[in-house]
Amino acid sequence: MGERLVELGAAGPLLVEQILSGELEAPVDYEQATDEWVVLLAGAAVLEVGGEALELGPGDWLFLPAGTPHRLVRTEAGSSWLAVHRRP
């Protein structure tokens, strides 16, 4: 299983989603058009941002400005994220 997105709500320019992650078959590259703030609620993950590998556990969060390339390298099955996007 890769990732599944569940929209939790939207208000004005904000969109709130839950991301449910399984184990990845291969790393996944992202570069979103909107600002994104994510917090890992459960599980574990490794994300590469700007060439730096970040090991994340529950409670760890990141702010990713629009246009920031990042790679999801590894996720633990059952990982759960909360993501807030600021839409234009």
Per the structure block, which two tokens stand in for 63? 């702010």
Structure confidence at residue 1 (pLDDT):
59
The predicted model scores a pTM of 0.89
How far is Cα 85 from Cα 38, in angstroms, rounded to an integer? 9
Whether the per-residue pLDDT at 78 is higher than 90: the answer is yes
Per-residue pLDDT tens over the stretch 38-69: 999 999 999 999 999 999 999 999 999 999 99
Could you give the domains of the chain?
3-86 (2.60.120.10)
Summarize the confidence of residues 25-33 as an average pLDDT: 92
Rg (C-alpha) for the chain, rounded Å, is 12
DSSP structure class, residue 63: E
- The residue whose two tokens read 């909360």 is 82
